[in-house]
Structure formats: structure tokens, C-alpha cells
Amino acid sequence: MRSRARFVLWLILWIAGILFPMEFLARVWPAFGGICNTIFAPDWMHIIMHRLLYGALVFLLAQAIPPVSSKAMLALVGLDLLVGFLQEGLQLLSAGMWPGWPPEILDLSVDLIGASMGIGLSRLTLRIQRSAKD
């Protein structure tokens, strides 16, 4: 598989994994629900997972939109928030809930921290690659 096609596939799979309504699956498959609750129920683990998911998302997106300008970094943050809003919306719909704003705002804030981590890692990677060429 060509490099670009592989990148697009990884990006699609990553976003699909983020958007997949885990709460719905946890309700219809009790074994998965038990594992999901063990992993995501503690607040600290929920925060770590959001940071990792969205940090990796932005790192992947930065392969197509290198964060070398303010405009590029703003685009990456915007895409991060777009996926975050979609994920929160799908999660609420699949759970049959109405937004409980504090939890959603917390998740989106943590998603932004993850985006910042992804941008930072991407910029570090670019710097290392440039210094290796010199």
C-alpha cells in the first residue's frame, strides 16, 4: 500500500475509533461494558485516554498539515475540536442523554490539551528531521 493511502487509512481508522459510540456497545455487550468501565470509569484514566486519543489524532493530522505556522496550528486545533464535538454529540445521542455541560466541557478541554501535545510532538519531530538533514 502506498504511503499516502496508508496515512489516510490510519487517519480514517483513528477518527472512526474516536467517534465509535463506546457507551452503546458497552450497553449491548456486557463483557465489553465491564472492560470499558474498568478502563474509563476513573476520572484520571478518562482524562489520560482523551489526551492520548486527541494527541495522536493531531499528530496524525500534522503529517498532512505540518504545524509550521499559526494558521496551520489553528487548523489542527479546529479539526481536533470538530472531532471532539462530533464524539461528544454521538456519545450523548447513543446514551439517550442531554448534554450535562460540565462533563462535555471538561472532555473538550482535555482534547485541546491533547491537541497541544500532538502539535508539540509534531514540531519536535520536524525539528529533529531538519537537524538530521543538516
Residue 1 pLDDT level (bands cut at 50, 70, 90): low
Phi, psi of 7 (to 5 degrees): -60, -50
Whole-model pTM: value is 0.87
Are the C-beta atoms of 114 and 53 separated by less than 8 Å?
Answer: yes
Q: If pLDDT is split at 50, 70 and 90, which confidence band does 65 have?
A: very high
Percent of all residues in the chain with a pLDDT value above 70, rounded to a whole number: 99
- pLDDT tens for each residue of 9-57: 999 999 999 998 887 788 889 998 888 888 878 889 989 999 999 999 9
For 4-17, the pLDDT digits (tens) are 888 999 999 999 99
Locate the domains of the chain by residue range: 3-133
Residues composing the chain: 134
